[in-house]
Structure 1
Amino acid sequence: MDTTETMISKIRAFIQAGSFAPLTDELLTLLRPAIRLIEKEEADDGDLAIGASKLGGLPDLPPEQAWPTTDDGTPLSLAAQIRLSDVAPFDLQHELPPTGLLSFFLDRPESGEGVPYIYSDTNRVIAVEEALSQLARRSAPTADLEVLPARALICSSQLMLPPFGWGHPILDKLLKRAVEKQEVEMSEDQLSHQYEQLRQQIEALFAISPPLLQMLGYAFPIQGEAAAISYDESVRLLFQLDDSHINFGDCGMGYFFIEKGELLADTPFSSEVPVSMEFECY
């Protein structure tokens, strides 16, 4: 695994070799570390170890932890559980606690057309600090609970530039200034395309697919609200997933955000993690 310095060195060399070379130092200050979660093939949930990082399946919980529900008692579906010791080596700025299990639960009622959709205010994130030996895989509490297909997850580090055109307080002004003052050889009409090409090429340096499953870093925007939230330095993107991993009822992305002050690398999460969720559709 590359060190942060090695990753920055690769990105610096790449930017300097292209159209945005005059802006290299300013662009590097906008890099933000992210943890990419890479799904493996669908698996039998019973074949995955207790406490393993995974999408879907049934949750691994301690005996005293009740199955998360909505306020009216409807059980929630497990979207993912993340073992923090799995992601710790890839958390370049050590923003997350190094131990524990984070489990993301979603409320998935049906629309009038029988299609599941997501309520953004009834989802829950549970943190467990117990040793794996204290956990057990729960059976579904009701016969009609939707259990999502289980897939194991592996991790990778990434440094990201923010996407352009969604109101980043520094980036948008920087690029427009560069065009107006002819610091870069491109028109304003070419700016968005050229910059997005740069972002994608930087991702390709680390052989990482588009950012669909992710912790930390910048949100992958569809309509803009999630991008604006992730630009806020007081907020962090705790988890992001897309509709190829779960049926939201529309094509799009789900984002769990957390206040930066709740992220203390030397302090475990509280048992119920205070998050806000956004959903954006194409």
Structure 2
Amino acid sequence: MTKHLLPPEVEEYRTVFEQTQIESIRLLAKKGPTGRYDSKFGGEPYFPRDFQYPLDEDGKPMKLLAQVNFEDMPALKNYPKRGILQFYLTTNDVAYGLDYEPPHQQRYFRILYFEEVLRDEGKLVSDFSFLPAKKPNDEDFPVESESKITFTRQIELMTPFDYRFRETVPIPSAVWTFDVELKYEEMHDAFHHKVGGYGAFVQGDPRLESCTDYSSYTHLLFQIASDDDIDCCWGDGGVANFFITEEDLKNRFFDRVLYNWDCS
């Protein structure tokens, strides 16, 4: 079991914290050109010619936010071990495609999964000139630069951002003070790119705050945080996450994913 750092004030509750341990995959991004099959932020997607390119509610083509090739990623329980998962956002909305009611309705964002990956590049789209042209300091899309993703496995503890934290980690309020919580958050930084693990939020967990019950959306499918190194910014230094139910994840059904982003 990984020995995690804890504020000394809650060391006696270590067993409670360690019961929340789960594996996740941290995504490390390096700006530069990418190949069709690479895991990436931005750039051009892997896309079969005989498949309908994703359009937003207004009929305009969306742009690739990120692509994960699971053959390159360390295995993670319940997540695919092969295939390519893609996240698309509209460029026609200052809210980056976020639907508040309901936030899982894919009108201005889209998630595609290609379980069988074609190796014949002649069967793939190679001309993406139909996509909206990139603008300088483009505020219509959160990622300005193309970046290749590499992966590293990590073990996480649940953070106070998660809507289940208070019930899962019951610590007396006299012990769990604001200062202690701040120390804990600094020790367990959740604001980075990843697959799996626990989500990070600036304003609050949408699974708790939404009018719809999203408590079953327990699995973090994907998270991308603001990152100056790859010219990625969600509003004022925010973070975006995509959640899915365990059943849908196991069944490779990505039509009901909860998408959220927020900033200060």
SS of the residue corresponding to residue 80 of structure 1 reads strand
Structure 2 residue 39 is the aligned partner of structure 1 residue 39: no
Q: Which residue identity lines up with residue 75 of structure 1 in the other structure? A: P
- How do 1:93-108 residues align onto structure 2 when only pairs under 5 Å count? 94-108=77-91
Match of 1:276 in 2: 258
| 1:182-221 Cα shifts (integer Å, max 9, x gaps) | xxxxx73532233224435xxxxxxxxx532111111111
Q: Residue type of the partner of 1:31?
A: Q
Structure 1 Cα separation of the partners of residues 233 and 57 of structure 2: 22
- Identical aligned pairs, as a percentage? 23
Alignment correspondent of 1:164:
160
- The question of whether the paired residues in 2 share the 8 Å contact of 1:127 and 1:273 is answered with no
Task: Name whichever structure is richer in helix by fraction.
Answer: 1
- C-alpha distance in 2 between matches for 1:128 and 1:54: 15
Which of 243, 263, 266 is matched with 2:249 structurally? Answer: 263
Q: Tell me which residue corresponds to 1:188.
A: 177
- Within 5 A, what are the aligned runs for 1:1-282? 8-11=1-4, 14-15=5-6, 18-40=8-30, 42-44=31-33, 48-89=34-75, 91=76, 94-109=77-92, 116-121=94-99, 122-135=108-121, 136-142=124-130, 144-146=132-134, 148-164=144-160, 167-170=163-166, 174-176=170-172, 179=175, 188-200=177-189, 211-226=191-206, 228=208, 232=215, 234-244=217-227, 245-264=231-250, 269-270=252-253, 273-282=255-264
Contact 1:165 1:192 in 2 (8 A): no
| Partners of 2:2 and 2:155 within 8 A in 1 | no
From the superposition, tell whether residues 86 and 21 of structure 1 become closer, same or farther in structure 2 (CA, over 3 Å): same
Deviation of 1:63 after TM superposition, in Å, equals 1.8
**Contact 2:159 / 2:165 at 8 angstroms: preserved in 1?**
no
Q: TM-score, normalised by structure 2?
A: 0.77
Letter of the 2:239 counterpart: M
The letter of the residue matching 1:175 is I
Contact 1:85/1:98, CA 8 A, preserved across alignment:
yes
Q: How many residues align?
A: 239
- Tell me the TM-score normalised to structure 1 length: 0.73
Q: Deviations over 1:216-268 (max 9, x none)?
A: 11111100124748x9454211111123353445431111111221111xx5x
Residue type of the alignment partner of 1:235: T
> Where in structure 1 are there 5+ consecutive unaligned residues?
1-7, 111-115, 180-186, 201-209
Q: Do the aligned partners of 1:83 and 1:100 also contact (CA within 8 Å) in 2? A: yes
Structure 1 pair 61/25, CA: closer, same or farther in 2 (3 Å)?
A: same
- Paired with 2:169 and 2:260, the residues of 1 have a C-alpha distance of 26
Paired amino acid for 1:10: K
Cα root mean square deviation, aligned:
2.9
Aligned residue type for 1:140? F
1:40-69 residue CA offsets vs partner (Å, 9 max, x unmatched): 1x213xxx3331101100111112112111
Task: Give the Cα–Cα distance (whole angstroms) in 1 for the partners of residues 44 and 188 of structure 2.
Answer: 36
Aligned residue for 2:13, secondary structure, equals: helix
Cα 1:211–1:193, aligned 2, differ >3 Å: closer, same or farther? closer
- Structure 2 CA distance for aligned equivalents of residues 123 and 170 of structure 1: 32
